[in-house]
Structure 1
Amino acid sequence: MSAHNPARVRRAQRQRRGGALTTEVTESAPSSERPPPLRRLVEGVRDGGTFVITVLAFVCAIVVGAVLIVIADEPTRTAASYFFAYPWDTFAAGWHAVSSGYIALFQGSVLDFGSFAGDSNVPILGPISDTLFNAAPLILGGLSVGVAFRAGLFNIGGQGQLIAGAICAGYVGFIWHLPPVLHLLVALVAGIIGGAVWGGLAGWLKAQTGAHEVISTIMLNYIALYLLYYLLSVPGFQAPASNQAISLPVDENARLPHLLGSGLSVNAGLIVALLAALGCWWLLTRSTLGFRLRAVGANQFAARTAGMSVPGSYITVMVIAGALSGLAGCAQILGGNNVALTGDVDANIGFDAITVALLGRASPGGTVLAGILFGALRAGAVRMQAETGTPTEIVQVVQSVIVLFIAAPALIRAIFRLRASRGGGVTQLAKGWNG
């Protein structure tokens, strides 16, 4: 019984009056008493809503990461070799490894304590700046996957679309020489077009031939990657007098400006990502096109019966998704640490974006928060490895475990003995192979 909307208690009494069977129904007035706040909080946690599941998934991932840090720590393994003689040494070494690792992760992504005491050369805003810098392309890539989810498609081709956008934006950036603002805008438009064409190709294959988008986008990922490798060996695209697979550097006028000065990494790519998230929210919740895309994603047969073009919706949503991934490529090449095209320009963002979209429940607001979280993990992993020697792969395991528990909330409910969901299951984000 809900505390906020108390149900009327009905009591039916059956009485035989004058040979006829009558029923009297009496209703009790709703109780004005509400449970105390602490009890409501406990009840909310036990109900296991989406927010609770997400928080507990993060807690479980931190615990799994702690176990892996202990296993990977050499002093802890050494202390474990004489555990039965001095068991406290093992626990102390393990605690030191875990605490120092996670403290370094926090200081590398949120706040460096040494900045206040003057013991560190890192600016006070340096860690959070690195987090937001890493978050921008992840947000854009997550929006790409999330928009496709809403239309019932699984866009696993973020890598290829990002590379296509980076190729177009980078080429315009180092071949053309335009005035500052104009050059940046033209490069951004080129990146959007490149990603949109690459995503639209997968949508066209889905609409015209029925080719499943997972297969086609994976193949397009490989095509884009090897196309990039080829271009980096072509004279005029490859940097002159260089035997490495690297392009010419992007012109200064085409680079995304820094938001907090050149000493901090965060740039205008974050503004682009937030504006894109706002645009996706409006598209999905306030526009006719967004309604049509969501209708196709919910039930393509009902949408077709209502007169909506399902093939056209597939092409449209993949063009939009590709454009968003193309913007992520722009953030990489026009504002990244390396302002030149290389073979690893995607930095695995295309696949991390899938986990960002899943963690954000394919909503623009959730994707922004998930992108910032994963950006923090990326930024902090570098500091953690440098200071404690903890492999950065452990952070990737933490990310994967978070998504694993988010995708399978029944595991969280079983571990923490939460109540079964009243919503009838997890919201379906994309269709199956026969969708």
Structure 2
Amino acid sequence: MAKRYMNILIPLIAVLLGVIAGAIIMLVSGYSPVDGYASLWNGAFGELYYTGETIRQITPYILAGLAVAFAFRTGLFNIGVEGQLIVGWLASVWVGVAFDAPKFIHLPLAVIAAALAGGLWGFIPGFLKAKFRVHEVIVTIMMNYIALHVTNYFIRTVLSDHSDKTDKIHDSASLAFSDAMQQMTDYSRLHWGILIALACVFIMWFLLEKTTKGYELRSVGFNQHASEYAGMSVNKNIILSMVISGAFAGLAGSMEGLGTFGYASIKSGFTGIGFDGIAVALLGGNTAVGVIFGALLFGALKVGALNMPMESGVPTELVDIVIALIIFFVASSYMIRWFIERISKKEGK
């Protein structure tokens, strides 16, 4: 079977197996799988409001997934997307609160500030990896906690008067829809950030697949020694990969700061979006287009799960189990691939 079709088939089988396993767990727990999944669908797409909320949830997932996928395609494991997202969130709100300007200036500045902050947070592990061969997984995990507590400190002492959250950003820095547009989705929190996320999908695809620099980045990820022998700067490409990955993550933070909430608040724990981005990238096969479908699935599951206890009595924790099972089956892709290949060989005889 062609590798391209295999890469599409394996995630689909993983999702199907996860859904089936979730149905079995519902049955064992005394719930109806049909009612449970029906309420999940209704909570994600049953009404205009829910559809708008699902797309809103998909937006940061796309960018977080791109951040993980971009690093992986270049041979790196960026587990620090969560921290890069948090600093990007803070930077965008900081610009949105600090001054007022025409929207065509203020909004791009706030978005760019988020990308720069995330890129800077990605630069540090990239530099340490390139210069001292410090493993990026360890550094990025540690920097998640640094980002969480540093941003909390700035919110409490710099951006507010010992309050738990900042002021609302100015309208000129907001990604929110106008009232007329909000009516179209029954006043959901859907915002213009979805267009930025889709533009970033195109940027990642174009950069990696259609440019010389993208070829260099992928080559370094495949084989550093061969790339260095070919005259490529391995160290510079490692740093650049982490900076671009961090920029995507920072933009994911700006979607929350400038779109969904319009402010930054003290966080007692991580948002979870950055960690979910790992699963989104994994499910999407670490491709730009695949990330969209991975984000769509996770966004629908997260938003639709909120309706399950009310409509069918199924606890939301069961959706977390389904998500975990899907990730498990995707991670077990070797077994799925082996099974498919055995079936293909039998049919070929």
Asked if 2 retains the 8 angstrom alpha-carbon contact of 1:145 and 1:354, the reply is: yes
Instruction: Name the residue aligned to 1:29.
Output: none
Alpha-carbon spacing, 1:103–1:294, altered in 2? closer, same or farther (3 Å): same
Tell me the distance in 2 between the aligned counterparts of 1:405 and 1:155.
Answer: 21
Amino acid at match of 2:38: I
**Residue deviations 1:370-429 (CA, integer Å, cap 9, x gap):** 111111111101111333343323222222211221221243357xx533499xxxxxxx
Asked if 2 retains the 8 angstrom alpha-carbon contact of 1:239 and 1:246, the reply is: no
If asked which structure has higher relative contact order (CA below 8 Å, sep 6+), I would say: 2
- SS of equivalent to 2:92: helix
- Of 182, 193, 200 in structure 2, the residue corresponding to residue 261 of structure 1 is 182
Instruction: Name the residue aligned to 1:153.
Output: 76
| Number of aligned residue pairs | 338
Tell me the distance in 1 between the aligned counterparts of 2:72 and 2:240.
Answer: 13
Amino acid at match of 1:105: L
Aligned residue runs from structure 1 range 206-217, under 5 A: 206-217=129-140
Instruction: Name the residue aligned to 2:7.
Output: 50
Alpha-carbon spacing, 1:57–1:207, altered in 2? closer, same or farther (3 Å): same
Instruction: Name the residue aligned to 2:340.
Output: 418
Deviation of 1:138 after TM superposition, in Å, equals 0.5
The reply on whether 1:66 has 2:23 as its aligned counterpart is yes
For normalisation by structure 1, the TM-score amounts to 0.73
Asked if 2 retains the 8 angstrom alpha-carbon contact of 1:173 and 1:187, the reply is: yes
Alpha-carbon spacing, 1:338–1:399, altered in 2? closer, same or farther (3 Å): farther
Deviation of 1:239 after TM superposition, in Å, equals 5.5
Tell me the distance in 2 between the aligned counterparts of 1:387 and 1:231.
Answer: 41
Deviation of 1:257 after TM superposition, in Å, equals 2.9
Instruction: Name the residue aligned to 1:431.
Output: none
Amino acid at match of 1:52: L
**Residue deviations 1:265-322 (CA, integer Å, cap 9, x gap):** 2211100000000000000001111000000011111001001111101100000001
Asked if 1 retains the 8 angstrom alpha-carbon contact of 2:103 and 2:172, the reply is: yes
Aligned residue runs from structure 1 range 106-185, under 5 A: 106-110=41-45, 112=46, 124-185=47-108
Alpha-carbon spacing, 1:328–1:346, altered in 2? closer, same or farther (3 Å): farther
Unmatched runs of 5 consecutive residues or more in structure 2 = 345-349
- SS of equivalent to 1:233: helix
The reply on whether 1:101 has 2:41 as its aligned counterpart is no
Asked if 1 retains the 8 angstrom alpha-carbon contact of 2:114 and 2:254, the reply is: yes
- Of 225, 228, 247 in structure 1, the residue corresponding to residue 166 of structure 2 is 247
Tell me the distance in 2 between the aligned counterparts of 1:366 and 1:344.
Answer: 32
Amino acid at match of 2:149: Y
Asked if 2 retains the 8 angstrom alpha-carbon contact of 1:157 and 1:217, the reply is: yes
Tell me the distance in 2 between the aligned counterparts of 1:238 and 1:154.
Answer: 35
Aligned residue runs from structure 1 range 22-61, under 5 A: 49-61=6-18
- SS of equivalent to 2:217: helix
Tell me the distance in 2 between the aligned counterparts of 1:421 and 1:307.
Answer: 44
Deviation of 1:220 after TM superposition, in Å, equals 0.6
Amino acid at match of 2:40: L
Amino acid at match of 1:225: L
Unmatched runs of 5 consecutive residues or more in structure 1 = 1-43, 77-93, 113-123, 423-435
Normalized per residue, the structure richer in helix is 2
Bigger CA drift: 298-307 or 387-396?
Answer: 387-396
Alpha-carbon spacing, 1:282–1:383, altered in 2? closer, same or farther (3 Å): same
Instruction: Name the residue aligned to 2:211.
Output: 287
Amino acid at match of 2:39: A
The reply on whether 1:314 has 2:238 as its aligned counterpart is yes
**Residue deviations 1:158-195 (CA, integer Å, cap 9, x gap):** 01100111111111111212222322111111111100
Q: Which has the larger radius of gyration?
A: 1
Tell me the distance in 2 between the aligned counterparts of 1:346 and 1:324.
Answer: 18
Amino acid at match of 2:278: I
Deviation of 1:199 after TM superposition, in Å, equals 0.4
For normalisation by structure 2, the TM-score amounts to 0.90
Tell me the distance in 1 between the aligned counterparts of 2:23 and 2:136.
Answer: 37
**Residue deviations 1:97-151 (CA, integer Å, cap 9, x gap):** 32221111101112x2xxxxxxxxxxx4222222111011000011011111111
Tell me the distance in 1 between the aligned counterparts of 2:5 and 2:28.
Answer: 32
Instruction: Name the residue aligned to 1:378.
Output: 302
Instruction: Name the residue aligned to 1:299.
Output: 223
Amino acid at match of 2:160: Q
Amino acid at match of 2:70: V
Asked if 1 retains the 8 angstrom alpha-carbon contact of 2:85 and 2:249, the reply is: yes
Tell me the distance in 1 between the aligned counterparts of 2:290 and 2:210.
Answer: 18
RMSD: 2.3
